[in-house]
A and B are shown apart, each in its own frame.
Chain A
Amino acid sequence: MVTKISIKKNQYRDSVFLMVISEQARSLPGIVEIAVMMGTDNNKSLMKGVGFSGSDLDSARVNDMVFCIRGESQEAVENALTQVEEMLTRRPRSGELADVHKTLDAVIRERPETNFAIISVPVPFAARETKKALNYGLNVLVFSDNVPVEEEVELKKLASKMNRIVMGPDCGTAIINHVALAFANAVTAGPIGLVAASGTGLQEVICLIDRAGYGISQAIGTGGRDLSDEVGGISMLRGLDILDEDEETEVIVLISKPPGPSTTEKILKRVSKSPKKVIVNFLGYDTGRISNSGAIAAGTLEETAYLAVATLKGEPYRYKNFGMPEVEMKRMVENETERMTRDQKFIRGLYSGGTLCDEAILILSSIVGEVYSNVPIQPNLGLQDLSKGYRHCCIDLGDDHFTRGRPHPMISPEIRNRYLLNEAKDREVAVLLLDVVLGYGAHMNMAGALAESIKVAKSKAESRGQYLSVVASVCGTTRDPQDFSSQVEQLRKVGVVVMPSNAQAARFAAMIAVKLQSKFRT
Chain B
Amino acid sequence: MKNENDSFHTMKPFFGKELVVVNIGISPFYDDLKKQNIKATHVDWEPPAGGDQEVVALLDKLLH
- The chain A residues found within 8 Å of chain B, CB to CB, are 10, 12, 14-17, 39, 61-64, 93-95, 99-104, 106-108, 110-122, 124-125, 128-129, 132-133, 135-139, 143-144, 162-163, 165, 176-177, 179-182, 186, 218, 242, 245-247, 440-441, 481
Contact = CB atoms under 8 A, between A and B. Distances in A.
Contacts of B30: 95, 99
A440 B22 CA distance: 17
A439 to B, nearest CB: 9
A481 B3 CA distance: 34
Contact of B33 (A12, A17, A61, A179): A179
A64 B46 CA distance: 11
Given A176-B19, A481-B35, A112 B40 contact: no
B20 A115 contact: yes
Interface in B1-60: 1-6, 8-11, 13-16, 18-36, 38-48, 50-53, 56, 60
29 contacts: A12-B45, A12-B46, A14-B27, A93-B27, A94-B31, A99-B40, A100-B41, A101-B41, A101-B42, A102-B44, A104-B24, A107-B41, A113-B6, A113-B18, A115-B3, A115-B11, A115-B15, A119-B24, A119-B25, A125-B56, A129-B24, A133-B22, A136-B3, A137-B8, A138-B22, A162-B9, A165-B14, A177-B18, A179-B36
Contacts of A247: 13
Contact of B21 (A101, A118, A122, A245): A118
B20 A441 contact: no
Nearest to B24: A119
A93 B44 CA distance: 10
B44 A100 contact: yes
Given A94-B31, A121-B25, A179-B33, A114 B47 contact: no
9 tightest A-B CB contacts, nearest first: A120-B25, A62-B51, A63-B51, A440-B32, A112-B5, A135-B1, A137-B3, A120-B26, A12-B46
A61 B18 contact: no
B37 to A, nearest CB: 10
Interface residues of B, number: 50
Contacts of B39: 111, 113
Contacts of B52: 61
A117 B13 contact: no
B3 A180 contact: no
Contacts of A39: 51
Given A17-B27, A116-B21, A218 B47 contact: no
A512 to B, nearest CB: 38
B2 A61 contact: no
Contact of B29 (A12, A61, A102, A143): A143
Contact of B22 (A93, A116, A144): A116
